Amino acid sequence: MKFSSNHQLSVNQLFSLVSIIIIIISYSIDMAPVPAKFIFFPIIFFLLNSLSLSKAELQADYYDQTCPQLEKIIADTVLNASRHDPKVPARILRMFFHDCFIRGCDASILLDSTPTNKAEKDGPPNISVRSFYVIDDAKAKLEKACPHTVSCADIIAIAARDVVTMSGGPYWKVLKGRKDGKVSKASDTSNLPAPFFNVSQLIQSFAKRGLGVKDMVTLSGGHTLGFSHCSSFVARLRNFSSVHDIDPRMNTEFAVGLRKQCPKPNNNGDAGQFLDSTASVFDNDYFRQLLAGKGVFSSDQSLVDDSRTRWIVEAFARDQSLFFKEFATSMLKLGNARGSGDGEVRLKCRFKN
């Protein structure tokens, strides 16, 4: 029994449906005839409920029958792009975070602005995301291999896993079956966690996405591949407060180096700083840097100052394998953030069908 080409009743659901029917028929044989409404209403309710559940379920083998070459096509595309531009891994990982944090993982970050609507990708926090062409390239190849099958949202999720793995980080089986959203508004990007947030604000922001304190610290570790322009942290380097010129939480030598990277006035729009000392490698160096007072963002450094999060930072700084394990788990949780039920599989990721 199928509801659509991609949503099937599981064996357990089918068994439950058959059981309901058998019970009703048995009752009608042994007792008085059962009115039709008592037969059909439970079945209709069950079918509607099963449809809702099947829509919500993501599966690792979702495309095994419809597009078995999916993972190889995306991996080859991402690897080729990364060879030509070493900033691609950080940008793809950030793209996944910023997409899932707005309306769930629905590829709304990929939609272009129109004359009547400014889209997410043109919101202030997303101006520097870039590398959208990598997803476009993978989508074009997938449309040739298996037309109108793979959602752009799933491509982002798989590509994010791939950039982590190819950079030396963990591997996990990406759950698939997302649909692409039809709404994208630049104004919604104000809901993204800001680089000046304190721990309480970070916890609240992540909690809205169903993520706990450990998830928040773990996913912050994605900054191990990150780069930031000066505008996101320059306030920590000069005239920080009436008492301190530089943020006192910052390692002094590190702050002096950042000042040189971000002079005043700064005429270089590309100037900035990598977020840890091994920027092209996915590792736990980010957490060691925080403990040394070398967090670039105020929000990152705040993780060390709060007892709710410091112990997690210390644990990950000591044990990279623990960080890798938790990162894979938290990425799966973030990837479960769902968009609107009114989704589609776009033919081109930049435009609604």
Place of tokens 């272009």: 112
Cα-based angle 201, 202, 206 (whole degrees, multiple of 5)? 120
Residue 120 is labelled as binding a ligand: yes
Q: How many residues does the chain have?
A: 353
Token readout for 153 is 């949202």
Name the active-site residue from 84, 98, 229, 244.
98
**Any binding-site annotation on 252?**
no
- Three-class SS state of 307: helix
| Rg of the chain on CA atoms, in Å | 24
Closest-CA residue to 67 (of 153, 8, 141, 162): 141
Q: Is 247 annotated as a binding residue?
A: no
Whether residue 186 contacts residue 113, with contact meaning beta carbons closer than 8 Å, is answered with: yes
Half-sphere exposure of 28 (CA within 13 A, CB side): 12
Two tokens at 92? 């793809």
Q: Is 106 annotated as a binding residue?
A: yes
> Which residue reads 């995301």 in tokens?
129
Burial of 215 (0-12, 13-18, 19+ CB in 10 A): buried
108 is in an annotated binding site: yes
148 given a catalytic annotation: no
Q: What are 142's two structure tokens?
A: 């997938």
Q: Is 276 annotated as a binding residue?
A: no
Give the integer Cα–Cα distance in Å for 86 and 280. 7
Supply the DSSP string of 116-161, one letter for each residue: TB--GGGSGGGTTT--HHHHHHHHHHHHHHSTTTS-HHHHHHHHHH
Binding-site members for Ca(2+) are 99, 104, 106, 108, 120, 224, 278, 283
Binding-site members for substrate are 193
Binding-site members for heme b are 223
Q: Which of the residues are catalytic?
A: 98
